[in-house]
Structure 1
Amino acid sequence: MGTYNEKIDILLHDDIFTNTLNLVSISSTDDNEHIRSIDDRILDHLCINILPNIHHNVKHLLFESMSMERILLAGNYPNLTSMKLFNFGQHIALNYFTDESIFQYIFKYQIKELILENNDYYNCIEGTIVLKEYTKNVYLLIMNLFKNLKSLTIVPSSSIINYPPLFIHDLPSTTFCSSILTNLCINVNSLDDCLYLLDGCLKQLTTFIVQVDCINNDSSIIHNTNDLSNLKCFSLTCFTLTNAYDNRLIPLLRRMIYLEKLTLYIRLVDRSTFVDGTHLHNEILMHMSQLHRFNFYISTQIPIDDSVHHLSDDNMQQTFNNIGYYQTSCIIDYYCSSNAICHVFSLPFIFNRLEMITNRIPSLIFPHVTYLQVVDTIQFNYSFFIRVSRAFTLLKYFTIINIMSPLWNFEEYEADYIQSNSIIIFPHLISLNMNILDKYYIEQFLLDTKTHVPHLTELKLSYRNLKNVTENFTRNATRNNCANIKRISFCDKRDYPNELYIYFPSLEIVSFSII
């Protein structure tokens, strides 16, 4: 039969494994090569001819949820300690993450590292009842079954923005506890859920990466205020606006006295001043003597009037230079005469989301951003969208907020509309949210003479605007960019004609929502 390394070499050079994708990947004690397959023929070959001969050497398995049972039944895997599961969902937990599971021994006693790419869609409108059930059906099952788990990572799959978060409010305090877990990456519903986890449920935790759906200022729950002396790495992301930064977030960060790495993504409102370098140093950084890496994105929205001194980007940048943080960027925008927003962030930009960005996009590349929201404090034009396509090369979700009046200068509109401009390409864009007044923006993206969006599958806009731009669903110039649309969410409810469904040949869902 040959040695193990020979088997790996034969497998990797077998023609049926050429150009294959993420179904299963195996890393062994002797070799770091990966085995991947995408169809039943390859899976059969893997499970019948390969895995029974090498299962005793396998330490790490990566596979799709649909193939998990066949792969795990192909061997005993006595040295398996790490698993990554793609397209994970509640049905997998209910069927396999129980004491009746046929893989109980492996899951309960062997697995120390578990990585799940969650494919369950979360709609925040569903409410806390759904989250409680999901917590019981997924998170509790994981913690109850995987007794030797030291590292748990749950992230959304590439096809969704977010999955149902952990919700332990009103549940027993032992809902999510472990005496040996050291690394946790998870989404939670609120800051209270985050604090529950830090109240003593996970005493050995050294790395905590958490996304919080909301951070409220009105919590009546009393949490521990002890120092978190074991925590070395902490990352907190909250995409929703919060007014609880000073009252709740800063006290939490002050407890992390031995933190070595800190990552923050927060969006603040109801403050009288911007968060700048001086504030961060005085309130947070000077209390973390072991800190050596700080990645951050912080936006602050404040009300202004004539008495407020207008700061410049350079003014803000200087506050970071003064504390030795030179790799930063700052953007300050004054808009709508009564509001201002300041974005400050470390470089390189490591986050996947940016919101409330105006025409003032800095001359930077944002290589990880997949979700972008822009606001037209000045009317967007062709050159703006060119800059967006170049700065956000992996953009998938694009929201345009229209606060300016529609274009009244027809000559300016026509000049920007001319066909001699090169076509803008958004190769990864899958969702467009254009609940706006100005149909110019919709034409910019739906006309194939202006923009190419080969993977666009979702639109959010008004029915009236879509009807006008597509000329009552007859316009040939917008057919190409509409060909792959599977979901449309309208912000104006009505009966939709058959012409709509004919014009969008891939359409699966038409819904009404407040976008």
Structure 2
Amino acid sequence: MGIINEEFDILLQDNIFTNTLNLISRSSTDDDICSIDNRILDRFCIDILPKIHHNVKYLILEPTSMERILLVSNYPNLTSLKLFNFEEHIALNYFTDKSIFQHIFKYQITELILENNDNYDYEEGIISSKEYNKNVYIPILTLFKNLQSLSIVGSSMLSYPPLSILNLPLNIFCSLNLTKLCIYVNSLDDCLYLLDGHLKQLTTFIVQIKNIHNNLSIIHNTDDLFNLECFSLTCYNLTNAYDNRVIPLFRRMKNLKKLTLYIRLANRSTFVDGTHLHKEILMHMSQLHTFTFYISSIIPYNDSFQLLVDNDIQQTFTNIGYYQTSCTVNYYRASKAICHVFSLPFTFDRLEMITNRFPTIIFHHVTYLQVFDKVQFKYKFFIRIAKAFPLLKYFTISSGLLSLIDFNKYEDDYIQSYPIIQFPHLISLNMMVENPYYIEQFLLNTKTHLPRLTELKLSYSHLKNVTKNFTRDATRHNCANIKQLIFCDECDYLTHFLHYFPVLDTVSYIKTIR
């Protein structure tokens, strides 16, 4: 504790430290680490916070320590609050008029950031979303009267329930103070509702939309959004409403200075390229100085279609003066083609429908990747993936192909000459495919190293085959840390199956292979 005390004494002399406190306790199963954390928290609450509470303007907390820290003082100058691992029960317990922190939340907090750790209940669907609106979104909008900046973001690939305006009382989301909003909504209608004049001072709007549909459920205001200077739209699900609904929204943003767009388009007649972006978006935004984008477009084609290649698409960006871009065109099915276009450097954390052909660049921010192709992915492809996506955490391999090799001969010495592929950050691997070759490739420790893999999605019969009925030592190492198994078929729960996964918590099933 002597070293810890000395560090605190130094920190107390630092003005920056007294303005912003990052008080996040580490969670660990190690009793020694936990006891040290508790002693640190004791020291903060007993010796440090009472001395500096009047200087604290920004608190970064987590739920386990939030109440104790906020009870130390009334923090008269606290205006910004960030909560990690936020869950529904926090709102139910603290974001109410009866909250013990009402005096802080109601009038002092002008900036609220919630890193959400709730998982959306897909079985419950909209019912869960309705409850979440009632228990989380309404209390936040009702209690925090002076918010100027509100950000609610997810902490993992599992999405928390989105905001659905249709499930809220009319005019609940109105504010004359809010200038920045970062939020996840259920539909484009919810996004349009927020831009209907309910947030008149909004200058920055960062929105992730679950679904963008063509059907219009309500009539929206179409006035220009003169105050909006920064807009970011992200939609991971495929949409066919881009031309009819998204482009008209962009046309309302006359004074936009910064635009970020991540969208996946289906059933268009042509690819989105530089010419399209200039004509439909850029030429209508005279103040725009930053355009960051990723757009994939899937189109049908036949024998009369003029096949385009990467250079054809790239030239359209050169023609409009956009040189920091990249693209790739793939004809991945007999009658389907996909084109990916994006700005450089690539700043998004997700990529889908990547085939054997992708640009030779490093995707430093991508943590989720889904690959698909009409030909089998070979060993060298996965070597490229490991190098191109160094921070990959979630990896999905999609293919309906059966094995192109004799699987019974594909033993761990089949490719001994190749180096072991390293995926140091991978925690979730989805291999619900017809081809057991990929399971062999990833589970053999002579081919792939997966030190952090905790979730595995695949066919039980394939897993049983590759592990030789859960007796194979060469696949045991990459299975050692798996906590969750998700199968698309029935399993027989043999005793040695359970012993093969020493830290296994849950086994579940999904109905379809995807």
Question: Match for residue 265 of structure 1?
Answer: 262
Task: Name the structure 1 match of 2:364.
Answer: 367
Q: CA deviation at 1:111?
A: 0.5
Partner of 2:341: 344
Cα distance, 1:406–1:149 mapped onto 2, change above 3 Å: same
The residue type paired with residue 458 of structure 1 is E
Q: Does 1:65 find its partner at 2:63? A: yes
Query: Which residue number corresponds to residue 485 of structure 1?
Result: 482
Q: 1:79 aligns with which of 59, 77, 102?
A: 77
Is 1:356 matched up with 2:353?
yes
> Residue deviations 1:287-312, cap 9 Å, x none?
11111100000000011111000011
- TM-score in terms of structure 1 length: 0.92
Change (3 A) 1:415 1:486: closer
> Aligned letter for 1:354?
L
1:172-183 superposed matches below 5 A: 172-183=169-180
Residue 13 to residue 427, structure 1, CA distance change in 2 (3 Å): farther
Tell me which residue corresponds to 1:114.
112
* Alignment CA distance shift 1:27-1:309 (3 Å): farther
Query: Cα gap change, 1:175/1:495 in structure 2, threshold over 3 Å: closer, same or farther?
Result: farther
Is the partner of 2:165 in helix, strand or coil? coil
Matched-pair contact (CA < 8 Å) for 1:28–1:59: no
Structure 1 gaps, min length 5: 1-6, 18-25
Identify the residue that residue 386 of structure 2 maps to in structure 1.
389
Q: Which residue is equivalent to 2:31?
A: none
- The 5 A counterparts of 1:148-187 are 148-158=146-156, 160-187=157-184
| Residue in 2 that maps onto 1:99 | 97
What SS does the aligned partner of 2:502 have? coil
Structure 2 unmatched runs, 5+:
27-36
Q: Give 1:489 shift.
A: 0.9
In structure 2, what is the equivalent of residue 23 of structure 1?
none
Q: Deviations over 1:131-180 (max 9, x none)?
A: 0110111011111111010001111124x432111111143222322121
Show the 5 A alignment for 1:230-249.
230-249=227-246
Kept in 2: contact 1:27–1:61 (CA 8 A): no
CA displacement 1:369-390 (0-9 Å, x = unmatched): 0000001333211111111111
2:446 is aligned to 449
**1:211 is the counterpart of 2:222:** no
Deviation at 1:29, TM superposition (A): 8.1
Match of 1:512 among 495, 509, 514: 509
Match of 2:252 in 1: 255
Amino acid at match of 2:470: F
Opposite residue 423 of structure 1, the aligned amino acid is I
The number of residues matched between the two structures is 498
Deviates more, 1:122-131 or 1:47-56: 122-131
The answer to whether the 8 Å contact 2:412/2:444 transfers is no
Q: Which region of structure 1 is more displaced relative to structure 2, 484-493 or 339-348? A: 484-493
Q: Which residue of 2 aligns with 1:459?
A: 456
Residue 45 (str. 1) matches residue 75 (str. 2): no
When residues 162 and 220 of structure 1 are mapped into structure 2, their CA distance, relative to the original with a 3 A threshold, is: closer
C-alpha contact 1:29 1:59 (8 A) present in aligned 2: no
Q: 1:305 aligns with which of 302, 318, 325?
A: 302
Letter in 1 for 2:38: D
- Specify the alignment match of 2:144 in structure 1: 146
Q: CA offsets per residue over residues 463-501 of structure 1, 9 Å max, x none?
A: 110110111111111111101111111111354333322
Q: Which amino acid aligns with 2:478?
A: N
Note if contact 2:23-2:61 (Cα within 8 Å) is conserved in structure 1: no
- C-alpha change, 1:133 and 1:46, in structure 2 (3 Å) is same
Distance, in Å, in 2 between the alignment partners of 1:10 and 1:489 is: 46
Which range is displaced more, 164-173 or 474-483? Answer: 164-173
Q: Distance in 2 between matches of 1:304 and 1:79?
A: 62
* Residue in 1 that maps onto 2:33: none
Distance (Å, rounded) in 2 between the aligned partners of 1:142 and 1:211 = 19
Report if the CA contact (8 A) 2:19-2:57 is conserved. Answer: no
Residue 492 of structure 1 aligns with an amino acid whose one-letter code is D
2 CA distance for matches of 1:416 and 1:250? Answer: 54
Counterpart among 125, 128, 131 of residue 126 in structure 2? 128
Residue number in structure 1 paired with 2:401: 404
SS state at 1:367 partner: coil
Structure 1 counterpart of 2:388, one-letter code = A
Residues 27 and 60 of structure 1 are in contact (CA less than 8 Å); yes or no, is this contact kept in structure 2? no
Aligned-residue RMSD, C-alpha = 2.2
Aligned counterpart in structure 2 of residue 191 of structure 1, from 188, 191, 194: 188
Distance change in 2, residues 1:473/1:12 (3 Å): farther
Q: Secondary structure at the match of 2:103?
A: helix
Q: Is the 8 A contact 1:118 1:155 kept in 2?
A: yes
Matched residue SS, 2:303: coil
Which residue type is aligned with residue 386 of structure 1?
A: I
Distance in 2 (CA, whole Å) between partners of 1:412 and 1:368 is: 38
Secondary structure of residue in 2 paired with 1:93 = helix
Change (3 A) 1:10 1:403: closer
For residues 371-421 of structure 1, what are the alpha-carbon distances to aligned partners after superposition, in whole Å with 9 as ceiling and x for unaligned?
000013332111111111111011000000113341136799679932232
Match of 2:430 in 1: 433
CA distance in 2, matches of 1:110, 1:74: 16
- Per the alignment, in what secondary structure is the counterpart of residue 307 of structure 1? coil
Matched to 2:65, the amino acid is: S
Task: Report deviation, 1:440.
Answer: 1.2
Residue deviations 1:414-438 (CA, integer Å, cap 9, x gap): 7993223211110110000101111
Equivalent in the alignment of 2:8: 11
